[in-house]
Amino acid sequence: MSDPKGFLKIKREDPVYRPVCERVQDYRHVAILRPDEQSKQQAQRCMDCGTPFCHWGCPLGNLIPEWNELVYHGKWQRAFELLDGTNNLPEITGRICPAPCEYSCVLGINDDPVTVRENELAIIEHAFSAGIIQARPPRKRTGKKVAVVGSGPAGIACADQLNRAGHTVEVFESDNKIGGILRYGIPDFKLEKWVLDRRFDLLRKEGVIFSPNVAVGQSYPVKKLRKDFDRICLTGGSRVPRDLAIEGRDLKGIYFAMEYLTQANRLVQGEIIPAENRIDVAGKRVVIIGGGDTGADCVGTAHRQKAACVVQIEVMSQPPQCRTEDYPWPKYPMLLKTSTSHEEGGSRSWAVLTKKFTGEQGKVKKLVCVKVEFVKEPGKSCPLMREIKGSEFEIRADVVILAVGFLHGQQQGLLEELGVTFDPRGNILTAACFMSSVKNVFAAGDIRRGQSLIVWAVSEGRKAAYAIDSSLMGKSSLPSV
């Protein structure tokens, strides 16, 4: 431990963001990368706990106290080596991960936790800028070939690990660019796409083969895939959106969140979207149904597209601002989150149930809503939702965006043709070794565990790579986490 009283001397410093009036005019990242000296100071707050619960909170098992101490001493290269050993995409998790490690930080029991996410970002960005990161292709190839279908975080992590093990890895992506949800589902103001391209360029130099614009099961037959590769790993994500089957759902002007965000990201990247297919919110009243991170991303995007007003509603009650007895430390708590998008304007309402949509000339114009409450009944473990009598109201809307989550991966096509078995939730059912019911076909990420966090996707990809390498070679030198 560098300074046993560091956490007493130094207070937590949260990220600094660009002014709202400036950042809503563009899609550049909202946060300002902090200086190395500030990162060294913040790393000094780490207590180097005897039992570091940040390890417990992080699905990747990042060696957080160790690289915090190294950062404090300015040993950036060694800090990077430790980070690189557990995380394949730290420049991405350092920007968009909700940082469960910080909620389990021991210092957080009675003080503000260590800025773990920002420290992680500082390490990887220093490593890139200082030239520490260089392409390291494997010295020897095994002669084995693995296909990874899907280029989101789980697929990229899996491909990176298998390539390090010496296998020839080809990543297939149905979209015209590599990145999956990282490229098309997350706005640039949270994750600029040069960050992805920098990583993918590095992986190409190390030998990973990327094949975008290839729809396995359509333009690339499944039989050919199984013939050409020794192992297959499915990492297509959880892409089937949850819908609202209520009156008026067929009105024009109602879109799924990923439909909206994907198109917005394509426009930012310079792609041409025909006017008749554009989701145009400029000067319009936008209502976003769903209070999660995806909904917040829609809020920020609507601000930048010059919506007249933005309203976000959520059926659940407003979360508390501090931990409750239901979520004691070190559990990841359900707390009120105010994102940078919320700080830019708009309004939020909780405990609002949408009953139906109404419109004019086939276009949505209003939401008919009611306030609800959640009541616990004797003998029931979960509270029941009840409508509050007399609380009906309407919200005017020209565009409605549904951000109410996802059900499971796309089953039609590739998955059905492969013949994999699904669990009760519609995700791919696998054994503990990540292999599906079909021999030599593995699965990882949201397509296996359901919609989750990016750190879980990276963790899943790494574990699947270990399992695949073990099945190919009889044993594996890759880390099992």
The pLDDT of residue 454 is: 96
Burial class (CB in 10 A: 0-12, 13-18, 19+), 162: buried
Are the CB atoms for 298 and 401 separated by under 8 Å? yes
Output the CA torsion sign for 241, 23, 182, 252: positive
Across 441-468, average pLDDT: 97
**Which residues on neighbouring strands pair with residue 396, listed in sequence order?**
366
Cα distances from 160 to residues 29, 52, 435, in angstroms, run 26, 28, 19
pLDDT score of 399? 98
pLDDT reading at 1 higher than 80: no
The pair of three-digit structure tokens given for residue 339, joined into one six-digit string: 């994102």
Compute the distance between CA of residue 152 and CA of residue 89 in angstroms, rounded to an integer.
11
> pLDDT value at position 2?
63
Tokens representing 466?
Answer: 């270990």
Q: Report the alpha-carbon distance of residue 201 to residue 399 in Å, rounded.
A: 38
> What is the three-class DSSP state of 168?
strand
- What pLDDT digit, counting tens, does each position of 275-301 carry? 999 999 999 999 999 999 999 999 999
ω before 15 within 30° of 0 (cis)?
no
What is the per-residue pLDDT across 384-419, written as a single tens digit (0 to 9) for each? 999 999 999 999 999 999 999 999 999 999 999 999
DSSP three-state, residue 57 = helix
Helices (H), 165-221: 181-184, 193-205
Separation between Cα atoms, residue 44 and residue 372, nearest integer Å:
46
**Closest alpha carbon to 438 in 149, 143, 141, 142:** 149
SS3 19: coil
Strands, DSSP E only, in 140-236? 145-149, 168-172, 209-211, 231-234
Give the CA dihedral 158, 164, 170, 176, nearest 10 degrees.
Answer: 70
Cis peptide before 330 (omega within 30 of 0): yes
* Domain layout of the chain by residue ranges: 6-129, 145-239+407-473, 243-404
What CATH number does the domain located at 243-404 have? 3.50.50.60
Report the C-alpha gap between 228 and 210 in whole angstroms. Answer: 15
In whole angstroms, how far apart are CA 426 and each of 185, 245, 422? 21, 19, 5
Q: Are strands 16-17 and 31-32 parallel, antiparallel or unpaired?
A: antiparallel
Rounded CA-CA distance 314/289 in Å is: 6
* pLDDT single digits (tens) 299-351: 999 999 999 999 999 999 999 999 988 889 999 998 999 999 999 999 999 99
Give the CA angle between residues 190, 193, 194 to the nearest 5°.
120
> Within its chain, how far is the Cα of 281 from the centroid?
25
- DSSP sequence for 390-453: T--EEEE-SEEEE---EEE---TTHHHHHT--B-TTSSBPB-TTSBBSSTTEEE-THHHH-S--
Task: For domain 6-129, give the fold.
Answer: Fumarate Reductase Iron-sulfur Protein; Chain B, domain 2 (1.10.1060)
Q: What was the pLDDT predicted at 450?
A: 95
Confidence of residue 370 (pLDDT cuts 50, 70, 90): very high
Q: Is 305 left (phi over 0), alpha (psi -120 to 50) or beta?
A: alpha
Residue 3 has pLDDT above 80, yes or no: no
Instruction: Name residues whose C-beta falls within 8 Å of residue 194's C-beta, 6 or more positions apart in sequence.
Output: none
CATH architecture of the domain covering 145-239+407-473: 3-Layer(bba) Sandwich (3.50)
| CA–CA dist 390, 392 (Å, integer) | 6
Question: What pLDDT score was predicted for residue 315?
Answer: 97
Q: Do domains 145-239+407-473 and 243-404 have the same CATH topology?
A: yes
Alpha-carbon distances of 423 from 184, 413, 438, 450, 459, rounded to whole Å = 27, 18, 14, 10, 20
Average pLDDT over residues 18-34: 97
Average pLDDT over residues 241-254: 97
CB-based burial label for 242 (10 Å; 0-12, 13-18, 19+): middle
43 in Cβ contact with 72 (< 8 Å): yes
Q: Which pair of structure tokens corresponds to residue 416? A: 């059905």
Contact 468, 162 (CB under 8 A): yes
pLDDT at 378 exceeding the cut of 90: no
Q: Which two tokens stand for residue 300?
A: 């920020």
The pLDDT-based confidence of 200 (bands split at 50, 70, 90) is very high
Instruction: Kindly report the average pLDDT of the chain as a whole number.
Output: 96
The mean pLDDT value for 84-112 works out to 96
When pLDDT is averaged across residues 210-223 and rounded to a whole number, the result is 95
Rounded CA separation 431/115 (Å): 36
| Cα 24 to Cα 134: distance, rounded to the nearest angstrom | 35
The pTM assigned to this predicted structure is 0.95
CB 58 within 8 A of CB 64: yes
Residue with tokens 């996410």: 117
Residues 6+ apart with CB under 8 A from 412: none
